[in-house]
Amino acid sequence: MHLSSFFNLKYQGKILWIILAFFSIFMFFPQPGVALEKKITNPIGISFILVEPGAFMMGSPKTEPFRDSDEHQRLVKIKTPYYMQTTEVTLKQWWAIMGKKWFFRRKGPENMPVTLVSYYDCLKFIHKLNQKKMGVYRLPTEMEWEYACRAGTTTAYYWGDTIDCSRAMYGNCARKNGECTIFFTSLNITVDRPAPVKSFAPNPWGLYDMSGNLWEWCADKYTPHPSHPYDETYNPLDSESRVRRGGSWFRGGQYLRSANRTYAHPGAKFHTTGFRLVRETD
């Protein structure tokens, strides 16, 4: 064998080894996943913000003014990312899925949040939306709702520890609680009803009206206390009442606190209650 042929075989072996090494790296080592989009909008115009996994203190400290006994503070971990709708479901979005009925037609500007929807109505809307094969949608869990509402904050509200009429929609009932009616009238917002979505600044994660405007249905059954202060699963008691979150236009500002909770029978319909969607990431 010529000396040149020997060196050719030697280098050919090294080149082959290098190729095999690179092949092994790409085939057997995990590759980075595809990054999720920060904001998405589906074909009927419903927009969502990506909420990344994380941990937070759910509930309120004992020193928080207006605190209720069912706001036990505990550590909660959100392990899976999800998309939270940027606003409450609007009339336009409701009509796009449910249609405009001749009788009992829901009237109003298309950018108003839909009201008078029961928990069961929300499920019907979601079922029809999911049939359109534009993603998988559902109501948020109570944990997901508060995590998204707080948006990394620990104060009573996501903007701080005090509230005024410029922050969110509340106190807009002339007969019950009218502390903000004069201010809202100056903004051409009608008294005795919610405001159009996006009438107020969003929270730090870009979500509108998480506090105020309407109570929002959550997926969970209501329970006064979790089974354990650090329970990540939040097992509900055997109750048909469903959680509502966020406060509304009807009452005072203390009901808009991020930890505040209320509930209602799943068949109940209120002028003060609507909902927003979660879209799953896979």
**CATH code for the domain of 89:** 3.90.1580.10
Residue 15 lies in a domain: no
The answer as to whether 264 is a domain residue is yes
What tokens appear for 214 in the block? 């309407």
CA nearest to 169, candidates 214, 222, 231: 214
pTM of the model: 0.83
Residue 230 maps to a domain: yes
Answer whether residue 150 is part of any domain.
Answer: yes
Domain count, the chain: 1
Residue 22 lies in a domain: no
d(CA 168, CA 252): 11
27 is a domain residue: no
Residue 29 covered by a domain: no
- The answer as to whether 13 is a domain residue is no
Residue 35's CB is within 10 A of a number of other CB atoms, namely 7
Which residue range is the domain that position 261 belongs to?
37-280
* pLDDT, tens digit (0-9, with 9 covering 90-100), for 60-117: 999 999 999 999 999 999 999 999 999 999 999 999 999 987 556 678 899 999 999 9
Q: Which tens digits make up the pLDDT trace of 210-259? A: 999 999 999 999 988 654 443 444 444 445 899 999 999 999 999 999 99
**Residue 38: CA count within 13 A, CB half-sphere:** 3
